């Protein structure tokens, strides 16, 4: 297979040899397998110089079930993979011929690179997630405004409404009627249940 140096310009304008970020539509729940297959094919065909990073945006979530704390990873965009590449004919063909890949996102079948602010936001999330790997978000199970009943502690059996949620620490502030006035009280998320 001959290697062309000309990159496909998704807007139909002049040629470009710059790397851009693109979004790939892929089969949902197979993102990791598709990413691994894509990386294998890139290495096999010697196209590494035309590719940067290939990312499946995820976030780590801590949840407590049956009293046991578990950390799980949740995909931010199920069914999509972010690919940094120089889009030429070989890259286009390799990506499109990878099992499970639907197509690049874009208009009229032409891939459209992501905007700089979208990339910064996405990469900012990735950097933030790497820094917070030791402190994943906690799946609280409540939203602001929910009516809850306190299950244990000093305010056991009291009812109130959720006013703030801290997903990093798992702390929930509940507005409780106490001595004739609405008072904010902090609880752990597991100390309450939805009414």
Give me the pLDDT at residue 195, please.
86
pLDDT of residue 85: 93
At 2-22, the pLDDT tens digits run: 333 334 444 344 346 788 999
Give the pLDDT band of residue 183 (cuts 50, 70, 90).
confident
Mean pLDDT over residues 22-48, rounded? 93
Q: Which residues contact 139 (CB under 8 A, 6 or more apart)?
A: 61, 62, 63
Grade residue 43 by pLDDT with cuts at 50, 70 and 90.
very high
Annotate the chain with three-state secondary structure: CCCCCCECCCCCCCCCCCCEEEEEEECCCCHHHHHHHHHHHHHHHCCHHHEEEEECCEEEEEEEECCEEEEEEEECCCCEEEEEECCEHHHHHHHHCCCCEEEECEECCEECCCCHHHHHHHHHHHHHHHHCCCCCEECCCCCCCCEEEECCCCCCCCEEEEEEEECCCCEEEEEEEECCEEEEEEEEHHHEEEC
Domain residue spans of the chain: 20-137, 147-194
- 94-107: average pLDDT: 86
pTM check: above 0.75: no
pLDDT at 153: 82
Q: Is the pLDDT at 126 greater than 70, yes or no?
A: no
pLDDT tier at 179 (50, 70, 90 boundaries)?
confident
To which CATH superfamily is domain 20-137 assigned? NusG, N-terminal domain (3.30.70.940)
Fold entry, domain 147-194: SH3 type barrels. (2.30.30)
Q: What is the mean pLDDT of the chain?
A: 80
| pLDDT score recorded for residue 129 | 54
pLDDT confidence of residue 33: 94
Tens digit of each residue's pLDDT (9 = 90 or more) over 55-97: 888 877 777 666 677 777 888 888 989 999 998 889 989 998 9
For range 173-179, the mean pLDDT: 88
Higher local confidence (pLDDT), 138 or 36: 36
Task: At 194, list the tokens.
Answer: 């939805």
User: Is residue 117 pLDDT above 60, yes or no?
Assistant: yes
Residue 47 is predicted with a pLDDT of 93
């Amino acid at each position: 297979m001959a290697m062309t140096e000309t990159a496909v310009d998704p807007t139909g304008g002049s040629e470009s040899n710059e790397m851009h970020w693109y979004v790939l539509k892929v089969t949902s729940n197979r993102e990791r397998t598709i990413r691994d297959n894509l990386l294998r094919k890139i290495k096999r065909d010697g196209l590494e110089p035309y590719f940067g990073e290939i990312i499946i945006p995820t976030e780590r979530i801590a949840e407590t079930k049956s009293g046991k704390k578990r950390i799980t990873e949740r995909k931010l965009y199920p069914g999509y993979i972010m690919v940094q590449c120089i889009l030429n004919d070989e890259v286009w063909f390799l990506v499109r011929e990878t099992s499970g890949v639907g197509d690049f996102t874009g208009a009229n079948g032409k891939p459209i690179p992501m905007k700089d602010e979208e990339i910064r936001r996405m990469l900012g999330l990735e950097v933030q997630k790497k820094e917070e790997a030791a402190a994943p978000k906690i799946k609280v199970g409540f939203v602001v405004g929910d009516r809850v009943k306190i299950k244990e502690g000093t305010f056991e059996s009291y009812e109130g409404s959720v006013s703030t949620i801290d997903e990093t620490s798992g702390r929930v502030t509940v507005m409780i009627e106490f001595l004739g006035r609405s008072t904010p009280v902090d609880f752990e998320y597991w100390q309450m249940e939805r009414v």
